[in-house]
Amino acid sequence: MKKMMTVLLTALVLMLALLPALAEEFATERQNALAAVRVSLPEAAIDYAVRERDDGRAVWNVFFTQGTQLGVCKVLESTNEIRRVELFEKPVDAMNAAEAMASLAQSKGEMTVTELELDWEDGELIYEGEAELNGKRYEFEISVTGEMLEWERD
């Protein structure tokens, strides 16, 4: 029992020692993805980015506003290659992704958004995604005007 506790404690100490390095690597990968979007879309005002898995590969969904449009750019993390750019006409009273996620956090609590997409559903432009809150996973849909359309436990 004592030996097992020592092994567990050692593993915990090693994990805690690695956290700063992992956080720095994550921040660097995020900055690289944002830089790729800035080069490809110099007029875009980037407002939010989410790292997720797509077909087993790490990708960044980078959300931006460009003129009268809202957009999302999918960037492959390993190469910073832009895989897809989607543009949507921005309704007059639309929130960008950062504003929509802040609104969601204000109504539901501080959470970690793990997936986020921007898409049309039933004629309405929405942010659709998944989030973790208090150790539980939730799926959500919020219109770009801020109306909560769905919040359910996954």
Helix (H, G, I), strand (E, B) or coil at 55: coil
CB contact at 8 A, 69 and 86: no
Helix (H, G, I), strand (E, B) or coil at 41: coil
In which domain, by residue range, is 36 found?
A: 2-153
Which strand (E) or helix (H) includes residue 89? strand 81-89
- Number of domain units in the chain: 1
Res 128: pLDDT: 96
Single-letter amino acid code for the residue at 113: V
pTM for the full model? 0.83
**Could you tell me whether strands 136-143 and 81-89 are parallel, antiparallel, or unpaired per DSSP bridges?**
unpaired
Predicted confidence pLDDT, tens digits, the chain (154 residues): 666 666 566 655 555 555 565 566 668 888 999 999 999 999 999 999 999 988 889 999 999 999 999 999 999 999 999 999 999 999 989 999 999 999 999 999 999 999 999 999 988 999 999 999 999 999 999 999 989 999 999 8
CB contact at 8 A, 33 and 74: no
